[in-house]
Amino acid sequence: MVTVVKIGGSLHSKGLTANLFEDIKNLSQIEPLIVVHGGGNTVTNIAEKLGKKQEFIVSPSGVKSRYTDKETASIFMMVMCGKINKEIVVSLQSLGVNAVGLGGIDGKILSAIRKKKLLIIDERNRKRAIEGGFTGKIQNVNTKLLNDLIKSDYLPVISPVAISDESEVLNVNGDRAASNIAAHIKADRVIFLTDVDGISLNDKLVSTLNLSQSKEILPELGFGMEQKLISCIESLENGVNQGIIASGLVDNPISSAIDHSNCTVITNE
């Protein structure tokens, strides 16, 4: 039984709490964990300090994403695999957790195909195809490496940076990275920690959803939450038992999510 935990970039930008790392430590003594992290806001801040203005695009389905040219891909790798990943590893190591920080490029943990074209909605609200840049669609996960680490009592901490067949560094969505890792490794559950309690409709927290209900409400959600629910749906359709969207700001956030306390739980039922 493996649990994949995605630490959202919104949490990182607010400052990851000691409580979160303590919870990871305690749970890792009971069951294997894999941590995937985001950090898009930090990437944006550092890129712009370096003088590289960041561009964001919107797909016809309403999903917002970073447009990644070659220079941005390099900054993305530097911040994700360097700064953010290693800060998380150091925090866990300080608690005695033998964490190993890896980018998705390491050992081809995340193999992806570079998107040649992207369909976007432009400023005139028209559909338009643009050059794909260095954004990837995940095709494979090196589960052997992840399982070897887990069996050797390491806790993998993975950055959402993938490698193409042409050895290009590709930006992949962190939520999609978590859902793909969960599906390929046959995880019991995937938990998306963010800065809200879960999915809210009409100012009310939705505690449970099945797959058909999840697909029905997708158009009602904002950019970030839509991506998390899509990732939950993909995980469940590929064999994961549960997808959970929960707050990472509460006490013992992962344990709380596993107990289905004040969060949104998506199941196949």
Domain ranges of the chain: 3-40+79-112+138-267
pLDDT at 65: 83
Backbone angles phi, psi at 118, to 5 degrees: -125, 135
Confidence bin at 119 (pLDDT 50/70/90)? confident
Average pLDDT over the chain, rounded to an integer:
93
Which of 5-19, 79-93, 193-207, 221-235 has the weakest average pLDDT? 5-19
Query: Quick check: 248 and 7 in contact, CB under 8 A?
Result: yes
Residue 62 in this model has a pLDDT that exceeds 80: no
The identity of residue 235, as a single letter, is S
- Is the predicted pLDDT of residue 9 greater than 80, yes or no? no
What is the pLDDT at residue 159?
Answer: 97
Query: What pLDDT is stored for residue 58 in this prediction?
Result: 85
Q: Among 268, 233, 182, which residue's Cα sits nearest to residue 2? A: 182
Instruction: Give the global pTM.
Output: 0.94
* pLDDT at 136 (0 to 100): 93
For domain 3-40+79-112+138-267, give the CATH superfamily: Acetylglutamate kinase-like (3.40.1160.10)
Which is higher by pLDDT, 244 or 226? 244
Band of pLDDT at residue 43, cut at 50, 70 and 90: very high
pLDDT given for residue 32 in this prediction: 97
Q: Where are the beta strands (DSSP E) in the chain?
A: 3-7, 33-37, 55-58, 64-67, 99-103, 110-114, 117-121, 127-131, 136-141, 155-159, 161-163, 169-171, 189-194, 200-201, 204-205, 208-210, 242-247, 264-267
Among 9-23, 134-148, 197-211, 241-255, name the one with the lowest average pLDDT. 9-23
Q: CB burial class (10 A; 0-12, 13-18, 19+) of residue 9?
A: buried
pLDDT at 237: 96
d(C-alpha 46, C-alpha 159), whole Å: 17
